[in-house]
A and B are shown apart, each in its own frame.
Chain A
Amino acid sequence: MKRGLVGAPRRRRSQVRVREADEELDRAVRAVVRAQLRLALTTCGLVAAVLVLLTATFALVPAVRAADVLGVPLPWVVLTIVVHPLWFALAWTHVRRCERLERRLPTLRSNGPP
């Protein structure tokens, strides 16, 4: 608030420097958000793909619906035993990739006003 007070040319110069530094920081943040978003969308896309594939297969291919695995209907096996571990694996992979990304991230510094 006091920043613009009269007779402080030194301060004004430092403000300009701050703005440039902030733009640099902003670019870095944008890159981080993009990288995180890419991971997130990949995972969401995989989830959607699994769901669409599963429902479509069961709906459009009657043979799959009727198939048996060790006397248990295939849809029951897939829907109760196979899919949940698949979700877990997807989530686990996502977390691993996120943490790797975040570990590699340089520390972002701001030279903004204190």
Chain B
Amino acid sequence: MFSRRHRVATGVEEATFATLHIAGQAAPSLRAGLTRDSARKAGRHLRALLGARAVAITSDERLLAWDGMGAAHGEQAMDHVRAALTSGRTHAIKDLTCDDESCPIRAAVVAPLFVDERVVGALAAYGEHASPVVVRTAGEVAGWVSGQLELAELDASRARALEAEMRALRAQISPHFVYNCLTAIASFVRTDPERARALLLDFADFARYSLRRVRDFTTLADELGCVDRYLLLERARFGDRLQFTVQVAPEVLPVAVPFLCVQPLVENAIRHGIEGDGSGHVTIIAKDAGPEVHIQVEDDGVGMDPERLSAALTAGTGGIGLANVDERLRQVYGPDFGLAVDSAPGRGTKVRLRIPKFRAGVLPGVTLGG
């Protein structure tokens, strides 16, 4: 292992290693965003990086952490950083006074921290002098810290985007569907008022389920109940041109599943099934497979060629779409649990999904005590 070719690192290399090492230690806490906790954890490493006597990290309103000697100065830290916060530039402060004669802190360099071009806080390095080298170093370190904070913000906004997508998803009932439903119901009002009334109730139930704001999971029983309403409504519109077969093993009904993970598949199957000759047969099967549930939605429609299939799986074409269901399944259960789609032109489409009966954290609806 220790070959003779093992070279002793030069001074410059060593310094680089040391710097990178310290930066690496500070990075994880900064990736959690700018909080008291992250500032306190990162402060020690940042002080080492700056080679300063003490370091203060502030938000735009208050001191978050003071690391190093002379904590008494912490009280004035906000006064020190104010100029940097307002100007957005690195400032040097000399001639700091201190009651303690032996206190080595006589100067400070304050560099602002940015996220998205906006000042969110400041990093202050305290020491004996505020030499140009210290000013430059502080500026660089503050720039690096800002980079980490931007990444943290990116993480958070990604989570927010997913949440927003989920919210949009819940609210998403295709306007065409609403229009078609209401037209179909209207057509029954005179000829068969009893059925029209029943259909209206089905529509209300379907809408209530689709728009509810229960977290991300529901039971397969509820999801299939929604599919049931949906099928009845589509049936009212297409009449005998559309045939359904539903087979559900009763054992799988209590399983927790992602909200709206089957209904979009059925919607898709009806759209593709009816395409072409204008009539079709949709089969929905849910079976018990030991620790998993296997669900299959099949139509006998025109089918898809591979290109259209991959297009459908990458970007949804209206409605919630296969792509969205696929993405959410992978997100919850891991990459092995995406949709499996069998299709060929003229052969119909078969979409299969597997759902584990248990996954830590997946429970239908109930949440208590955060």
- Using CB atoms and an 8 Å cutoff, list the residues of chain A in contact with chain B: 1-2, 4-7, 9, 18, 22, 25-26, 29, 108, 110, 112-113
Is A2 touching B370 in the complex (CB atoms < 8 A)? no
Q: How far is the CB of B81 from chain A (nearest CB, A)?
A: 13
Contact of A6 among B121, B155, B159, B369 (CB under 8 A): B121
B369 touching A22 by the CB < 8 A rule?
yes
Q: Which residues of B contact A112 (CB under 8 A)?
A: 367, 369-370
- Size of chain B's interface in residues, with CB distance under 8 A? 19
A-B contact pairs, 11 of them (CB 8 A): A1-B32, A1-B33, A1-B159, A4-B33, A4-B35, A6-B61, A6-B120, A7-B61, A22-B369, A25-B369, A112-B367
Give every chain A residue within 8 A of B33 (Cβ-Cβ). 1-2, 4-5
- Going nearest first, the 8 A-B pairs with the smallest beta carbon separation are A112-B370, A4-B35, A6-B59, A2-B156, A6-B120, A110-B369, A25-B369, A22-B369
Cα A29 to Cα B370 in complex, Å, equals 13
**Interface bits B113-130 vs A (CB < 8 Å: 1, else 0):** 000000011000000000
CB-CB under 8 A for A22 and B35, given A6-B59, A7-B120: no
A22-B370, A108-B368 known; A5 vs B35 contact (CB < 8 Å):
yes
Contact in complex: A26, B369 (CB < 8 Å): yes
The answer to whether residues A6 and B34 also contact, given A18-B370, A108-B368, A112-B369 and a CB cut-off of 8 A, is yes
Interface code B210-229, partner A: CB below 8 Å = 1, 0 otherwise? Answer: 00000000000000000000
Q: How far is the CB of B174 from chain A (nearest CB, A)?
A: 27
How long is the Cα–Cα vector from A108 to B121 in the complex, in angstroms?
41
Q: How far apart sit A7 and B58, CA to CA, in the bound complex (Å)?
A: 11
Q: Which of A5, A6, A9, A29 has the most CB of B within 10 A?
A: A6
For B75, the chain A residues whose CB sits under 8 A away are none
Contact with A along B15-48 (1 / 0, CB 8 A): 0000000000000000011111100000000000
B-chain residues with CB within 8 Å of residue A22 when the two chains form the complex: 369-370
| Distance from A7 Cβ to chain B, minimum over Cβ atoms (Å) | 6
A113 neighbours in B (Cβ, 8 Å)? 370
One digit per residue, 1 when the CB lies within 8 angstroms of any chain A CB and 0 when it does not, for chain B 60-90 equals 1100000000000000000000000000000
* B120 contact set on A, CB distance < 8 A: 6-7
Residues in B neighbouring A18, C-beta threshold 8 A: 370
Q: Kindly list chain A residues whose C-beta atoms are within 8 Å of the C-beta of B121.
A: 6
A5 closest partner in B (C-beta): B33
Interface string of B342-359 (1 = CB under 8 A from A): 000000000000000000
- Cβ of A110 and Cβ of B37 under 8 Å apart? no
Other A-B pairs, 4, CB within 8 Å; known A22-B369, A25-B368, A29-B368: A4-B33, A4-B35, A26-B369, A112-B367
What residue in chain A is nearest B121 (Cβ atoms)?
A6
